[in-house]
Structure 1
Amino acid sequence: MKTPVLIIGGSGFLGGHLSAALRSRGIDTKVVDVVPSEGYIRGDVRDYKTVLELTRDAGTVFHLAGELPPHGWSKGKKGQMWDIMVNGTENVLKASLENKVKKVVYLSSSAVYGVPLQTPVSENAPKKPLDEYGRAKLRAEELCLAYASKGLDVTMIRPMTILGEGFVGILRAVMEFICSGKPVYILGSGKNSIQMVHVDDIVRGCLLAADKGRAGEAYNMAAGAPIPTVREEMEHMIKHAGTKSGVRPVPAFIVRPALAMVKAAGVAAVGTEVYNLADKTFVLSTEKARLELGWKPTREMLESLDESYDWYAKNRNAVKPTLSPWLRLAMMLP
């Protein structure tokens, strides 16, 4: 790996684990984020001059900066997401090409696929993202391909939902319901499977992509077998937590249209991707990453869920206030 290393958008969950891994190896690493924090350089990917200066001496750039879908969409929030994830990505790519950065690794997402037509999903499967987040990720990938054609060595990673210590992602509400002993409502029977992946495996994937990833190529990364069903995941977490929570299936044909109407009103409790995929099987093929990068997952999903839940239970007082009003209302249901 060419040094020094620059992590853009590095104060978050993955960035913290990646920077710790790099520094533990004695690699000169700088971390940039728009969020002020001790030990980080403050910078905004939307400011090209700032990005140009930050990448000036970098050998390898990990571009992790993004914007998760907020609760309650507005045109302003959609515009902000696009500005950060698309325009910001182009700034990183343009500056990296200008400064002759040796390698760029871009963190994309499995959200670019939308609802899978068949599983396991390979990297060349159709891309039909369901929401603004997925569309922004796909457009950013298109920019990566454009800059690869100009000579920039940029590789993309498409992970499933990342689990581990510090995880505060889409399962936050489920974990709060379990902590509180409230029922966990699942869409459909719960017999479908949705892969996730441990943060340690994605950190290793980032490092391998930096060393071995081909320019203009994308690599799926997700947990390996066994892949539990959604119901098995929920029941396992409840047993692990030791609470009086339970799993309650709800009919998808009733709930999905209602959630779509709520989202259209701009007050969605969950994003489009979540309620459209919740009762579908979504499993990625990671064969390409295995063959080309030498990557394979080492952490099983249920173990990763346990680690995420334990962290949440310990830190719930700090994390709980970020639950949306709709999810707080759902906690009042019997």
Structure 2
Amino acid sequence: MVEPAVKGTSNVLEASLEAKVERVVYVSSSTAIINIQNLPNDKVIDESYWSDKEYCRENKKWYPFSKTEAEEQALDFAERNGIDLVRICPTVVLGPILQSTSVNATSLFLLNLLKGCEPVENKVRWIVDVRDLADALLLAYEKIEAQGRYICTSCPAKPKDLVHKLKSLYPNYNYLTEFIEVDYYIRLSSEKLERLGWRCRSLEKTLIDSVESFKEAGLLESK
């Protein structure tokens, strides 16, 4: 997981340098920000935070390790070579899917809630709509004043709360009923991104469009 993330990033940046690209918009992840031991829950976590790679390594958190390492190397490369690198760090991405033959991890998470497959930790997930993420990328590319790093998220929700909301919209699915209670909460903000003019959809709109796309792709029965 680490090598493809780092090598892929390096390849794209080297190609950008060769093509004399002036600005690169790089999709990192909130996991490159929030994986810190004893992360404070009494303050808003902003773009200045970086995940602790040693903590990730010790706890075998390879995805956040890979995203942190790749973003650090991308920033170093950009600074050494004069590339204007703007980084977007999205949280859990939901919304309508494009693919029908395979399902990504976040869509599987939502499908699990609808189908009641595996117990999940009932901890806060910060969610952003995939279409709002696309808008953020365009803003980061088009706005001259865009610089540095941007957290891209809209709202927090626990899985149990998502099930409750989904049941009110689609009452007939076999919803997940087993949750593992976890004492975990973080506060994130997209205030910096909002200052560029970014706006996001409601959670209800994201959930409805996600479910409808699942049904269209044959991943859920129509109910």
TM-score (norm 2): 0.78
Aligned mates of 2:208, 2:89 — CA distance in 1? 23
AA matched with 1:314: E
The verdict on how the C-alpha distance between 1:209 and 1:174 changes in structure 2, with shifts beyond 3 A counting, is closer
**Could you tell me which residue of structure 2 aligns to residue 86 of structure 1?**
6
- Deviations 1:79-131, CA, capped at 9 Å, x for gaps: xx333210111121122123211211110001112254335320112413642
Are residue 235 (structure 1) and residue 158 (structure 2) matched? Answer: no
Aligned mates of 1:184, 1:238 — CA distance in 2? 18
Using CA pairs under 8 Å that are at least 6 residues apart, name the structure with larger relative contact order, 1 or 2.
2
How big is the shift at 1:300? 1.4
**Could you tell me which residue of structure 2 aligns to residue 294 of structure 1?**
197
Are residue 117 (structure 1) and residue 40 (structure 2) matched? Answer: yes
User: Contact 2:44/2:188 (CA < 8 Å) preserved in 1?
Assistant: yes
The verdict on how the C-alpha distance between 1:156 and 1:221 changes in structure 2, with shifts beyond 3 A counting, is same
The verdict on how the C-alpha distance between 1:286 and 1:122 changes in structure 2, with shifts beyond 3 A counting, is same
Unaligned runs of 5+ in 2: none
Of 148, 153, 161 in structure 1, the residue corresponding to residue 78 of structure 2 is 148
Of 187, 204, 213 in structure 1, the residue corresponding to residue 135 of structure 2 is 204
**Could you tell me which residue of structure 2 aligns to residue 217 of structure 1?**
148
Aligned mates of 1:174, 1:244 — CA distance in 2? 12
The verdict on how the C-alpha distance between 1:279 and 1:170 changes in structure 2, with shifts beyond 3 A counting, is farther
The verdict on how the C-alpha distance between 1:216 and 1:141 changes in structure 2, with shifts beyond 3 A counting, is farther
How big is the shift at 1:193? 3.0
How big is the shift at 1:314? 2.7
Question: Alpha carbon RMSD of aligned pairs, Å?
Answer: 2.9
The verdict on how the C-alpha distance between 1:114 and 1:303 changes in structure 2, with shifts beyond 3 A counting, is same
Aligned mates of 1:162, 1:246 — CA distance in 2? 20
TM-score (norm 1): 0.54
Aligned mates of 1:223, 1:159 — CA distance in 2? 10
**Could you tell me which residue of structure 2 aligns to residue 310 of structure 1?**
212
The structure with the larger Rg is: 1
AA matched with 1:99: A
**Could you tell me which residue of structure 1 aligns to residue 111 of structure 2?**
175
- Deviations 1:46-88, CA, capped at 9 Å, x for gaps: xxxxxxxxxxxxxxxxxxxxxxxxxxxxxxxxxxx33321011
The verdict on how the C-alpha distance between 1:135 and 1:183 changes in structure 2, with shifts beyond 3 A counting, is closer
**Could you tell me which residue of structure 2 aligns to residue 263 of structure 1?**
none
Aligned to 2:167, the other structure's residue is in SS state helix
**Could you tell me which residue of structure 2 aligns to residue 45 of structure 1?**
none
User: Contact 2:29/2:89 (CA < 8 Å) preserved in 1?
Assistant: yes
- Deviations 1:165-196, CA, capped at 9 Å, x for gaps: 117432425425624xx477342xx4x53211
Are residue 133 (structure 1) and residue 63 (structure 2) matched? Answer: yes
Give identity over the alignment, percent. 26
Aligned mates of 2:89, 2:184 — CA distance in 1? 19
Aligned mates of 1:120, 1:194 — CA distance in 2? 15
Aligned mates of 2:106, 2:183 — CA distance in 1? 15
How big is the shift at 1:283? 3.8
Aligned mates of 1:235, 1:245 — CA distance in 2? 12
Aligned to 1:233, the other structure's residue is in SS state helix
Aligned mates of 2:216, 2:74 — CA distance in 1? 39
Q: How many residues align?
A: 205
Aligned to 1:94, the other structure's residue is in SS state helix
AA matched with 2:40: L
How big is the shift at 1:217? 1.2
